[in-house]
Structure formats: C-alpha cells, structure tokens
Structure 1
Amino acid sequence: MYKNIRITVLSHLLVWLTLICLPYLLSYGQEQDFSRVIAHFWIPLFFSAIIFYLNYFVLIDRFLFPKKMLYFIIINAVAIVCFLYLKEYIEDNFFKDIIKKSVLGAERVRPPFIIAVYIQILSYLAPLFFSIALKSTKRWIKTEAERKEAANFKLKSELQHLRYQLQPHFFFNSLNNIYALVDISPDQAKKSIHSLSKLMRYMLYETNEESISLLKEIDFMKKYIDLMKLRVSDKTVVNYSFPSEETGIKIAPLLFISLIENAFKHGVSASKPSTINIKMTCNTKTVLFVIENDNFPKKTEDKSGSGIGLPNIEKRLELLYPNNNRFKTAVNNNRFVAELEIETN
C-alpha cells in the first residue's frame, strides 16, 4: 500500500516538474524571458494544478459520482472564472512591462478578447477532464477488483458447501454398506469400520486444500474400492487400473469418488453377475477417468440414494474447471458408462 502511494506521489511530481520545465525544453538553446514564462505559463499552470487536485480529491467524489451535476458544474465554472480574473489582475499589476511591449520593444498586439478567454477556458478544462478521467479509471479498477474478490469469495463458499454436502453423503452411504455386513459377516464389518475411519480421516484433514496430488487421490479411491468390495458377492467382478508413478499433476479432491460410489450403488445386483471396470489415464496435463458398470436402476420407492452425487460433480466441475473439462454419461447395451476428462493447469 505504502509503495503504491510513493509511486503515485513520484509520478505526479514528475509530471508537474516536466510541465514546469516545458518552456525551456521546447525552446532549447534559445534565451527565455523569465518574467514572460512566469506570467504566461507558470501562473496558469499553478491554477490548472489547483483545478486538477480540487476535483481529484474533493469535487468528483462529493458531487460528480453522487450525480450532483449542477453543483459540480457551478463550482468549477466559478473557479475557472476566478482564475481567469486573477490571471488578468496579476498580469496587469505585476507584469505590465511584458504586456505593453513585445520582446523587440514594439507594442504587443493582443488577440480578440473572446478568443483569448476561450483559449484560457480550454486550458483550464483540460486538467478538469483529465482529473475526471483519472478518477473514473481509478474507481473502475477498484470496483473491478472488489467484484473479482466478491466472485472469488462466492466461488470458495460454493465449493465449501459442495464439499460439506459430499462428506456426509459419502459417510452415510458407507455406513449403510457396513450395516448390511453386520449380520452377514461381523469380521468384515469390523474391518470395514477400520477402513472407513482411515477414509474419513483423509476427507477431513487431507482435502481442505484447493488441489492435492493425484497419487493421494488415487490411493484414497483404491481404499474406497477395497472397502466396497467387502460387501459385494462373488458374482461381482471389480477391475481397476490407475497410474502408479508420480505424474506431478494436482487436482481438486474428491472429484471421482461419486462416480465410483454410483457404480457400486447402481451397478451391483445381489442375484445377477455384474462387472465394474474403472480406468484412469493421464499425460502431462490431462486426466481421463472412465468407469463402466452394469445398469441396475433403483426402483422409484427405493430411497437409499440421495441423488446428489452426479449433480455435485457437475457443479464442482463448472466452478473449478470451466471450459477445461468434459463429462458425459451414457447407457450402452444395458451398461452405464461415465467419462470424465480434466485439463489441469
């Protein structure tokens, strides 16, 4: 903040110093009448600086931006008229010699009064318009920064909400699966509870970052698949293939787990053979995840699923990877296929 203030002050000083030196810069090598420079250039420049900073620090904020245009115009008009009068008064009383005679000693020929006034008014309107332009640009930049900050805050809030939505969804579905094992296989139920505690620890403590290592997410998915395999019968075959080497890719956590969860929820039958195929491939920046399972749709009266899995994925993809994702689902030959491709930065 202080650095920006210093840069602004130095910039203003540099501009005004350049303007003060302008008569000498434009007539390099020629002799300048110091009194003429003061009367015809530095005094109007001083008045222009007053108009500029009066508007920049006071009038624009108090009258122009609140749309009190009449007050803004009147105050500036009065200030310009006062400066025109003061300039003439100073010249008539302190610089009579340069008014009466030119450099060669002849009588000075003045331009028509109206034209002279018109030119001077334009010279004072220039700093006025420049201050408006500068102040408006500064206000626009500030407004745009605030808008982006608000949008970023909204994005983080939505993502946090989706994450909190996913965690209990995942937890309750896992508990339902373990509950089904209690009577059938108490030992497997105990093992499942232990595995679930590890998974929940990961979800609570490892997924708070915006992005995590792809290998960590893969390890989490493998543990979840192993947990889910405990409750399915021998009629269900689960095949999965994940990258085994470090890729350096980082992704948003918990993007793929809902697809795996849906495969076990809707792709497994207690009486019919079923197969779940899961495959992930990746290159330098792209991750492709494909999951395929038999399609055993839930009955209308079956309320075991909350139905938030796929909508959750779509919403998170929209927020996290806009224009950098491809997600599609289809049912082919009574097999459900979901394909998710993400292009990471």
Structure 2
Amino acid sequence: MYKNKNITIFLHLLVWLTLVSLPYLLSYSQDQELDRVKAHFWIPLFFSAIIFYFNYFVLIDRFLFPKKTLFFIVINIALIGLFLFLKEYIEDNYFQDILKKRLANTERTAPPFKMAVYIQLLSYLAPLFFSVALKSTKRWAKTEAERKEAANFKLKSELQHLHYQLQPHFFFNSLNNIYSLVDISPDQAKSSIHSLSKLMRYMLYETNLEVVPLSKEIDFLKKYIDLMTLRVSDKTTVNYSFPSGETGIQIAPLLFISLIENAFKHGVSATKPSTIDINMTCDDNTVLFSVENHNFPKKTDDKSGSGIGLQNLEKRLELLYSDKFNFKTILKDDRFLVTLKIETN
C-alpha cells in the first residue's frame, strides 16, 4: 500500500511537471516570453490544479457521492467564476505589458470576449470532469474489490460448512457399519474402529487445506474401501483400481468418498450377488473417477444415512470447480454408474 501511494504521488508530480513544461515543449527552440507564459498558462494551470484537488479530496466525497449534486454544482460554479475573475484581475494589475500588446492587437488577432471566456471556462471544466472520472473509477475499483472479497469470504464459509457437514455424516455412517459387526465378528469390529480412527485423523487434521495431493486422497479411499469390505458378505465382490505412486496432481479433499459410500449403501445385498467396481485414472491435470454397482433400492423404513452425501458433493463441485467438472449418473437395468471428471488446472 505504501509503495502504491508513492507511485501515485510520483505520477501526479510527473503529470504537473509535464504540463508546466508544455509551452516550451511545444515551441521547440523558439523563444518564450516568461510573463506571457505566466499569465496565459501557468496561472490558469495553478487554478486548474486547485479545482482538481479540491474536488478530488473534498467536494466529490462530501457532496457528489452523497447525492448532494446541487451543492456540488453551485460550489464549482462559484469556484470557476472566482478563478475567471482572478485571472483577469492579475493580468490587468501585474502584467501591464501583455495587456497593452493585447489591446494593440485586439482588432487584428484577439477572439471575441465571449469566445475567450468560453475557452477559459472549458479549461477549468476539464480538471473538474477529470477529477470526477478518476474518483469514480477509484471508488468503483474499491467497491469491486470489496465485492470480490465478500464473495470469496462467502465461498470459503459455504465450503467450510459443507466440509463440517460431511465429517459427522461420514462418521455416523461408518459407526453404523461397525455396529453391525459387533455381534457377528467382534474382532473385525475392533479392527474397524482402529481403521476408522486413522480415517478420522485424516479428515480432521489433513483436509483443512484447499487442496491436497491426490496420492493422499487415494490412500484415504483405499483404507475406507478396506474398512467397508469387512462388513459385506462373500456374495459381494469389490474391485478397485487407482493410479499408483505420486501423480503430482493437487485436488480438493473428500470429493470421491460420498460416491463410494453411496455404492456400499445401495449396491450391496445380504442375499443376492453384487459387484462394486471403482476406477480412477489420471491424464495430465484431469482426474476421471467412476463407480459402478448393482442397484438395490433402500426400503422405506431404512433410516441409515441422511442422504446428504451426493447433494453435498454437487454443491462443493459447483463452488470449487464451477465449469471444470462433469458429473453424471446413469441407472440402467439393475446397474448404477456414476462418473466424475475434474480438470484440476
């Protein structure tokens, strides 16, 4: 901020220095009468600077932006009128030689009085309009920056809310699965609790970042699949394939877990054979994830889960990746297929 302020001051000084030097810059090597430059150029330029900065620092903020337009116009008319009078007064009393030459050449070269006043008036209106334009642009830029900051804060708040919403959802679903093992296989239930603690540690302490390495997310998904596999019967076959090693891709955490949860929730039957196929591939900065499973609709009295997993996922994808993702679900016969494609760059 301090650096930007110094640059602004330097640019202002540079502009005014250029304007002060303008008579000499435009006349090349021709001689300039100093009194003439003072009377016809530097004094009006000084008045223009007062109009510009008085409007920029005082009048625009105090009257124009608060919609007190009449006061703004009246004050500027009075100010410009004062400077028109002062310019004539200074010329008449302090630059007699120039005045005599002007009177001697009045009939031959001088423009009509009304035209002269009109030209001077325009010269004072220019800094006025420029100060309004510059101040309005600065105000718009500040408002736009504040709007973007507010939108960014809202985005982060929504994502944080969805993240916190996902954690208890995941935790309770996993506990329900472990609960079903307690009577059937206490040893597996103990092992599952230990695995769940590792998964929760990842969710609580390693997913607060905006993005995580895809390799970490894959490791989390594998552990979750292994945990869920403990509770399914021999009638269910679970196949999965993930990229091996470090992919170099960074991705938002916990985007795929809801899809796997959904497959184990709706794709497993205690009496019928079923298959769950989970596949992930990577190509440059694009991740393609798919889950295909048998479809066994939940009974109406089945209250397991809250049904927020897929809704949560879609909201997060909209907020995080906007038009850089493709999410599809297909139900055909007794098979349910979901695909998710994400461009991470």
TM-score under structure 1 normalisation? 0.98
With 323-332 and 108-117 compared, the bigger mean Cα shift is at 108-117
2:73 equivalent in structure 1: 73
1:277 equivalent in structure 2: 277
Looking at structure 2, the residues matched to 244 and 36 of structure 1 have their Cα atoms a distance apart, in angstroms, of 83
2:165 equivalent in structure 1: 165
Instruction: Give the conservation status (yes or no) of the 8 Å contact 1:166–1:309.
Output: yes
Looking at structure 2, the residues matched to 128 and 164 of structure 1 have their Cα atoms a distance apart, in angstroms, of 54
**Alpha-carbon offset, residue 246 of structure 1:** 1.4
2:92 equivalent in structure 1: 92
Secondary structure, counterpart of 1:297 in structure 2: coil
1:17 equivalent in structure 2: 17
2:288 equivalent in structure 1: 288
**Alpha-carbon offset, residue 19 of structure 1:** 0.1
1:343 maps to amino acid: E
**Alpha-carbon offset, residue 99 of structure 1:** 1.3
For the pair 1:323 / 2:323, whether they are aligned, the reply is: yes
Task: Structure 1: give runs of 5+ residues left out of the alignment.
Answer: none
**Alpha-carbon offset, residue 156 of structure 1:** 0.3
What is the total number of aligned residue pairs between the two structures?
343
1:256 maps to amino acid: F
2:287 maps to amino acid: V
1:232-260 Cα deviation digits (max 9, x unpaired): 01110000000002111010000000000
1:77-111 Cα deviation digits (max 9, x unpaired): 00000000000000000001111115xx9544432
Instruction: Give the conservation status (yes or no) of the 8 Å contact 1:327–1:338.
Output: yes
Looking at structure 1, the residues matched to 94 and 165 of structure 2 have their Cα atoms a distance apart, in angstroms, of 80
Instruction: Give the conservation status (yes or no) of the 8 Å contact 1:324–1:342.
Output: yes
Secondary structure, counterpart of 2:289 in structure 1: strand
Looking at structure 1, the residues matched to 247 and 29 of structure 2 have their Cα atoms a distance apart, in angstroms, of 68
Secondary structure, counterpart of 1:101 in structure 2: helix
1:312 maps to amino acid: N
Name segments (4+ residues, structure 1) moved above 4 Å.
none
Looking at structure 2, the residues matched to 238 and 120 of structure 1 have their Cα atoms a distance apart, in angstroms, of 86
Instruction: Give the conservation status (yes or no) of the 8 Å contact 1:275–1:294.
Output: yes
Secondary structure, counterpart of 1:287 in structure 2: strand
Secondary structure, counterpart of 1:247 in structure 2: coil
1:5-48 Cα deviation digits (max 9, x unpaired): 00000000000000000000000100000000000000000000
With 108-117 and 157-166 compared, the bigger mean Cα shift is at 108-117
Looking at structure 1, the residues matched to 303 and 188 of structure 2 have their Cα atoms a distance apart, in angstroms, of 25
1:250 equivalent in structure 2: 250
Q: CA RMSD in A?
A: 1.0
Matching of residues 1-345 of structure 1 within 5 Å? 1-101=1-101, 106-109=104-107, 110-345=110-345
- Counting aligned pairs with the same residue, the percent is 78
Looking at structure 2, the residues matched to 95 and 231 of structure 1 have their Cα atoms a distance apart, in angstroms, of 103
Looking at structure 1, the residues matched to 81 and 133 of structure 2 have their Cα atoms a distance apart, in angstroms, of 22
Instruction: Give the conservation status (yes or no) of the 8 Å contact 1:214–1:247.
Output: yes
1:25 maps to amino acid: L
1:142 maps to amino acid: K
Instruction: Give the conservation status (yes or no) of the 8 Å contact 1:100–1:108.
Output: no
**Alpha-carbon offset, residue 151 of structure 1:** 0.5
1:260 maps to amino acid: I
1:113-157 Cα deviation digits (max 9, x unpaired): 211111111000000000001001101111110010000000000
1:163-190 Cα deviation digits (max 9, x unpaired): 0000000000000000000000000000
Looking at structure 2, the residues matched to 257 and 43 of structure 1 have their Cα atoms a distance apart, in angstroms, of 74
Secondary structure, counterpart of 2:31 in structure 1: coil
Instruction: Give the conservation status (yes or no) of the 8 Å contact 1:286–1:341.
Output: yes
Instruction: Give the conservation status (yes or no) of the 8 Å contact 1:99–1:108.
Output: no
Task: Structure 2: give runs of 5+ residues left out of the alignment.
Answer: none
1:17 maps to amino acid: L
Secondary structure, counterpart of 2:302 in structure 1: coil
2:304 maps to amino acid: S
TM-score under structure 2 normalisation? 0.98
Looking at structure 1, the residues matched to 313 and 320 of structure 2 have their Cα atoms a distance apart, in angstroms, of 10
Looking at structure 1, the residues matched to 246 and 220 of structure 2 have their Cα atoms a distance apart, in angstroms, of 15
